[in-house]
Amino acid sequence: MSLKFENYNPAEDKLFQIMDNMGVIINPSEMPDISDALAVKAYKDMLFSRIADAMAVSFQRQGRMYTYPSNYGQEAIAVAAGMAMREEDWMVPAFRELAAWLAKGATLKEIFLYYMGNEEGSAFKNAKHLLPFSVPISSQFPHAVGIGYAINQHKKDEVVFAFVGDGGTSEGDFSEALNFAAVWKVPVVFIVQNNQYAISVPIRKQTKSKNIAVKAMAFGMPGIKVDGNDIFAMYAALKHAADYARTKNGPVLIEGFTYRRGAHTTSDDPTKYRTKEEEQEWDAKDPLKRLKFYLDSKGLWTEDEEKLTEQYKQEVERQFEEAEKTPPHTLDDVFKYTHYEMPDELRRQKVEYEKFLQWKEGRK
């Protein structure tokens, strides 16, 4: 692999690709060192993520879980990140990186608990260096820079992978974080999942820049726009960026150019603001289809996909049912641990809420 950031100048709106929509390798000199077994595993991970995501949406529609942000169509970025991250690396997520959370060691049960409003869902007991999800937009980026600063201070061999959506790049936290990341030369890989909509606002109404990667130039760091549905290109870019950051060169900004095929969240209706034609165009660029074409052309896929899909569904169902059986936190947990001694105002709120619960119980 000979990837050089300067060969894909974002000021010229160059897009880094390795594989086309039909799974044909069109840029062989940049093909990452990836075994056949790992390519098959990448497809399985994307398939599992897609199934879990679709079932999560279904669980929410059944009223068994709260609002959920679909990952549909963006699986390649998260799986590639999972492949590039080492155990000791840090992951600072937004809220749409399901496969990367799983790769870092989170369980589906924990993720479901989070979307059920249970604090246990943010604990990630067996995931090393994984921060909780960040629903506030871009507020996690300064945290990522702080971790990177500490890594440098302690002279550790670690990299921070920080995620945000394209809408997050319009926030002040994004600019402040990138500025100090470059000034302090911290080992952070900023990953923007540009799915082209911030809820219902298209990217053309968010920025006049040619793309998002070009913003890196203003802060004095490398930036690259990558086909976010091409898992080989995403893995190559992330691996190269991590190596660059790990060797004390400073941060990198990667724009994963993708498309959110589902809704922003289960509270949203994308038919109100985008067209069928646009959705069909991106169906042809689907990351799973492209990798499957590649595996089939190489004779690498020998699994019974229908059987595998059924196994995955059963595993998702099992972990969801475990999450549902987890006891909720008590009311005391909500009020007791914010202050050393509970202030009078909180005591008043607790009494008021207890009265509400008694009233609610009496209506049954």
Assess whether 260 carries a catalytic annotation: yes
- Is 188 strand, coil or helix? strand
Distance CA 147, CA 159 (A): 9
Return all residues near 127 (Cβ < 8 A) that are at least 6 apart: 101, 104, 105, 106
Residues 182, 221: contact at Cβ < 8 Å? Answer: yes
User: Among 185, 191, 155, which Cα is nearest to 245's?
Assistant: 185
Q: Which tokens sit at 142?
A: 């300064």
Q: Which tokens sit at 65?
A: 């879980």
Q: Which of 264, 290, 294, 312 is catalytic?
A: 264
Indicate the Cα dihedral angle 241, 245, 249, 251, nearest 10°.
Answer: 80
Q: Go through 114-141 and write b for each residue having 16 or more CB atoms within 10 A of its CB, e for each that does not.
A: bbbebebbeebeebebbbebbeebbbbb
- Tell me 362's DSSP state: H
Phi then psi for residue 314, to 5 deg, are -65, -40
Burial class (CB in 10 A: 0-12, 13-18, 19+), 176: middle
Q: Which of 273, 318, 329, 348 is catalytic?
A: 273
Residues with catalytic function: 260, 264, 273
